[in-house]
Amino acid sequence: MKKFLMVIAVLALFFTFPFSGSAKRVKFITIGTGGVTGVYYPTGGAICRMVNKKSKEYHIKCTVESTAGSVYNINAVMSGDLDFGICQSDRQYQAYYGLKEWKGHPQKNLRAIFAIHPESVTLIATDKSGIWSLKDLKGKRVAIGNPGSGQLGNSRDALWLAGLDEKKDIKAFYIKAVEAAEALQNDRIDAYFYTVGHPNGSIKEATAGRIKVHIVPIPNVEPLLKKFPYYAKTYIPKKFYPNLTNKEDMIPTFGVKATFVTRADMPDDVVYAIVKEVFDNLETFKKLHPAYAVLTKKNMLEGLSAPIHPGAMKYYKEHGLDKYLKR
């Protein structure tokens, strides 16, 4: 009996302190991304890959979650359901200052870490729909983004630019981008908006079917740039999608940046570890997706509007990068 109790006691001790000595408890972190055919999902994977390589050193295990997109990610990070999130720079700005979906509820505990790839407002339409400019959306079946996505706001701004009313002038669909490519090829919609980095799986899928499609150029965006500080003029290279029927090599539109965020109470050492692994190994990171080709340490600190998380700031100061943080 005595022996039996001893064994129980030893086992109990083992299960209470499974890693004896100096071993630290592993911290599990989750990054909120987007649909699996977007660029956020592989981006979450790329960030996790960089830190998971050093799991033993940092005691961090990073995983990703596919989500509804930017707005969902910000809200889930703020509520504690997610630890980190990827979100559009315009959404970061709106959340921090209490605009649009956050009207009257500024998210003052939102913290910026770094910016990632540029994202373009991408309007893709079937050739037979006759949609060759924003104005042609009138009367058409258009997927403008699911609730929780970043693009829903950008599509609305594009409609505003064209003087179109979401309720009266178009037949709006609120399906996820991950479903939109198939809906386009099945002739259930005429066009869809997706704010996304290029190349991506969604536009590849949309151009791979029987129905001929093109990206609609959005050339005259000056009124938008004047009204909203977070938009920039961008171009989508046709070369990523050889099946597009577009004639031009660079299709004009407007866009934002993908950014990486967390909340103020995230431990500094966890944020520091992620920033260190991504920035120390930026050339390796950049190889993980073609949309990262343009990344530099400088432009990864541009387009952030929430305060920088102190764990990230520590790294930027140590490496003299904080001078790039234009506020």
Give the footprint of ligand GLU on this chain (CB under 6 A): 34-35, 38-40, 69-70, 88, 119, 149-151, 195-197
Alpha-carbon gap, residue 113 to 141, rounded angstroms: 38
> Rounded to 5 degrees, what are φ and ψ at 308?
-75, 135
Contact 145, 193 (CB under 8 A): yes
Q: Kindly state the smallest distance separating residue 40's Cβ from ligand GLU, in Å.
A: 3
Q: Kindly state the smallest distance separating residue 47's Cβ from ligand GLU, in Å.
A: 13
Of 34 and 311, the one with the shorter C-beta distance to ligand GLU is 34
- Choose among 281, 267, 258: nearest CA to 310: 267
Q: Kindly state the smallest distance separating residue 262's Cβ from ligand GLU, in Å.
A: 16
Q: Kindly state the smallest distance separating residue 251's Cβ from ligand GLU, in Å.
A: 18
Of 240 and 324, the one with the shorter C-beta distance to ligand GLU is 240
* DSSP character string of 259-308: EEEEETTS-HHHHHHHHHHHHHTHHHHHTT-GGGTT--TTGGGSS--SPB
Of 75 and 151, the one with the shorter C-beta distance to ligand GLU is 151
DSSP-derived pairing of the beta strands 84-88 and 250-263: antiparallel
Of 88 and 107, the one with the shorter C-beta distance to ligand GLU is 88
Of 198 and 238, the one with the shorter C-beta distance to ligand GLU is 198
Q: Kindly state the smallest distance separating residue 102's Cβ from ligand GLU, in Å.
A: 15
DSSP-derived pairing of the beta strands 250-263 and 232-237: antiparallel
